[in-house]
Amino acid sequence: MALKLPAAFQERMRSLLKEEYTDFMDSYDRVPRSGIRVNTLKISTEDLLSIAPWDLRPIPWCGTGFYTEAGERPGRHPYYHAGLYYIQEPSAMAPVELLDVTQGEAVLDLCAAPGGKSTQIAAKLRGTGMLVSNDLNADRTKALAKNIELYGVRNAVVLNEHPDRIAEKFPAFFDKILIDAPCSGEGMFRKDEAMIKEWDEDSPLKYADMQRGILRAAATMLRPGGRIVYSTCTFSPEENEGMIAEFVAAHPQFRVLPVGGTGSFAAGETDWLKEQGTGFGHIPDQVWEQVRGTARLWPHRIEGEGHFLAVLQHEADPESAAEAERARDTLLSSTAPAESADRPKGKERPTRNAKPMKGKPPKKGAGNQGEAAPTAAYEAFIREHLLGFVPGGHTVVYGSHIYQSPLPPSLLDGLKVVRPGWYMGDAKNGRFVPAHPLATALHPGEFIRVIRLDSGSGEAVRYLKGETLSIPGDRVECGGEASPKGYALVCIDGHSAGWGKWQEGMLKNEYPAGWRWTSA
């Protein structure tokens, strides 16, 4: 075993696993498995499998997930830049599958960065309902926002807030809540050796205190009858089964839906806490029996890293659930769809660097340049360029920056907002400039001009590198009576990648500098 694991960690695992300990330690000699998950917002699983240039093998617990072979580099292919798949550790695909998201729901991803699970949730919502993706770490929200934009998500809000602050604004609001909790990271030692250096004997108890508060806040935000999935990438029973036992004992309206002991999911471990854990003597036996229904993914039993999963179902009578849903619908309809706001003073442009939008949120009728100017140019662009649909939700204006939000802006009042919704573009001096996230979330049939690039010809990579391309006019597909000149949706093998401006045989590249292809 090449990895130098802490002696205290090894001793703990020996006492936890007993006769399986040797098999567990042997797993550290195996190469970690890699995987991709199909982004069904842009392509079906069947279609991706038909064009993928690699051998892909199904991941048992995720219908859209596939193992990739060692040495393959799916991040260095135009399909990655077109957002057709997300590169994700296989075990990390399991929590969202257990969340059981259905179309039209309001879903909260409470600890969301870098965004893999948020994009998985968004694919299940299929543009309906709403997704609120939050992370407390401001730096990590940059990757979160970029991934939501790359994968063509239209109905997400990105926040940088403490869970308690969100709970104040959204009591009994969400149908489903995912808590991929910050943890001691023991399950990732094989994949990321830096986690070993950060670990010490006190790590589990330090993180357990943080997890306790997150679960408590989530319980207040879940509507009656809703579901929470709690997950970690650690082996520590204090952060896993112990945390769930504490929660269920204190919240009798919740029960654990049993998933452990089925398929790839091993049953939760409770004996260790009863025998060696401290502070759990008050937990009733019937609660421990429920906790056995939590699940573990052990790296010596599956092809993936260590993970813990718990499904918490709120038990509510149908009348209470219906009442909560009516209250939420009233809240969502209490604000008119068209909203406007001043750009927060003294802040960098949030739509480029993912810094939070602090200060007061959008208020109807606000804006120092007059409400009609930015929205008029935006609405004209939508009428003249989009085919077959009008973006839904609430039009939100921050200075000259325009978004379509699934939430009334008043609900974001006082929160640190990184993205209030789908970023459509900038409107200045009566002119609208479409944003890159507008392009990545469109399909070819939804824009008036389309230019198709072939991933195998070299053109696609040149476009992704920011180069100007020579494109004859007969390659510009125009809808209606449009001429080839103007903004065109650039697609790679039929899937949107960004903007270009075509004129007289040349495609001016509008692919953002910070997104460009940098690999050889």
The residue annotated as part of the active site, out of 62, 233, 478, 491, is 233
Residue 110, C-beta contacts closer than 8 angstroms, at least 6 positions apart:
134, 163, 166, 177, 178, 179, 180, 214, 217, 218
* Cα–Cα dist 197/204, whole Å: 14
Q: What are the two backbone dihedrals, phi and then psi, of residue 493, each rounded to the nearest 5 degrees?
A: 50, 40
Has 183 been annotated as catalytic?
no
* Cα–Cα dist 490/500, whole Å: 6
Cα separation of the two ends of the chain: 33
| DSSP state letter for 507 | E
- From its phi and psi, is residue 346 left (phi > 0), alpha (psi between -120 and 50) or beta? left
Determine the number of helices (DSSP H) and then strands (DSSP E) in the chain: 18, 24
- CB-count burial class (<10 Å; 0-12, 13-18, 19+) for 421: buried
* Cα–Cα dist 70/8, whole Å: 32
Nearest residue to 239 (alpha-carbon basis) of 285, 198, 272 = 272
* Cα–Cα dist 66/80, whole Å: 15
Q: How far is CA 458 from CA 113, 452, 463, 492, 515, in A?
A: 33, 13, 9, 11, 18
* Cα–Cα dist 63/46, whole Å: 11
The catalytic residues are 233
